Structure 1
């Protein structure tokens, strides 16, 4: 979490907070549903990614588990913040289940979304290193945003872009044509042949699963040749692959 200290009124320098500012960490800023960084979210050259969250100073936020029973945050969910200490917010009417928190916000809510994407990546490839994960998250981040685009990443507000779980996982599963989650084998070859010959099989959730050579173009015989080569001891499918169209 990059931190929300920019909301403070004390005359202090604003910067990405510890430990997010360390090179070995991923620093996550907070954006709204229009992909605009919240004014209170810290910015700086250390920012790697942005993730959506609720407003740390009012409005609805992320839903999450609360302390079970009456001792958590949700029974009286409110906060007062901002320069004039005037913002108060509550859970929506009828949503006062004490076991859940309705307005988890700030960069503290944005960062766990990125952590969840990391978990998805490791569930498909437990051998990924920290540096590989950093690269995958940065290169797969969505830069064509709601109202503008990030042309020369990283930028100080949103880093490499909005974290994108689908693109991140897709980048490391090329070759798993049938999306079984298992090793790439003859069943994937059979699925690719079926797709290329109009046999009815279509790679799901994306035909990029069959883009064995990471060309980004039409799936064709060159992908079939690459998969056959791999199954006969040749080079593996190209991944991570950052071709999504």
Structure 2
């Protein structure tokens, strides 16, 4: 049986699935005890943005972030989001294009340094390896592309946990890609949000964990999923 609004519901379901898949991997942010994850899309966006503002240099191509040693990753201290990677060191794999006016090893070293700095300072990602491959030699460095929009819609804060999380400095908005912005389970609460790019994502998420746990009766364990990092204007 169909109804008049079935196409609209189908469109909404399709958009939700595309948004969820667009997050990419859910990466551990910080260490095993921190209880924080970030979407690969959000992390890559910040890394690209940082490279763009760092000045002239190699151009980043395709990028992915994977566990540095999947077999050695410790178990998380708190329940991870669905399909999230286990906590542990990460490796950035990226393609790069460069001009011939600088030796390739030197150009790669500059890019590697920028990526490591951004991962630590802007996000809180534990990255121990950066694997770069040169895919193209350029005559001139092209204009750098504008950063991608986050593609994640904000959600109105609801309930004690939502209001508490939304009030933490550095929280740009609550989001609802995996479901409700605040997901309450039997043994923990998970908060999904976007952070302001002027704050380190891990610092914001850890502050949210503390504030939300203190606001709720029984002070349950709290985990955080960062789905987007919003560039501060």
- Which structure has more helix as a fraction of its residues? 2
Larger Cα Rg: Structure 1 or Structure 2?
1
- Which structure has more strand as a fraction of its residues? 2
Same fold (TM over 0.5): no
TM-score normalised by L of structure 2: 0.26
TM-score normalised by L of structure 1: 0.25
